[in-house]
A and B are shown apart, each in its own frame.
Chain A
Amino acid sequence: SQTIHQWPATLVQPVGSPLSLECTVEGTSNPNLYWYRQAAGRGLQLLFYSVGIGQISSEVPQNLSASRPQDRQFILSSKKLLLSDSGFYLCAWKAQPVEAFFGQGTRLTVV
Chain B
Amino acid sequence: RKEVEQDPGPFNVPEGATVAFNCTYSNSASQSFFWYRQDCRKEPKLLMSVYSSGNEDGRFTAQLNRASQYISLLIRDSKLSDSATYLCVVLYNQGGKLIFGQGTELSVKP
Contacts and interface: CB of A to CB of B under 8 A. Distances in A.
Q: How large is the interface on A (under 10, 10 to 19, 20 to 34, 35 or more residues)?
A: 20 to 34
B103 A43 contact: yes
Nearest to B100: A44
Interface stretch (A12-20, A66-74, A77-85, A89-97): A89-97
Contacts of A51: 95-96
B43 A90 contact: yes
B34 A99 contact: yes
Consensus secondary structure, chain B interface: strand
Contacts of B103: 42-44
Interface stretch (B11-19, B44-52, B73-81): B44-52
Q: How large is the interface on B (under 10, 10 to 19, 20 to 34, 35 or more residues)?
A: 20 to 34
Given A99-B49, A104-B43, A105-B43, A43 B102 contact: yes
Contacts of B44: 44, 90, 102
Given A99-B34, A99-B49, A49 B87 contact: no
Interface of B: 34, 41-46, 49, 87, 89, 91, 95-103
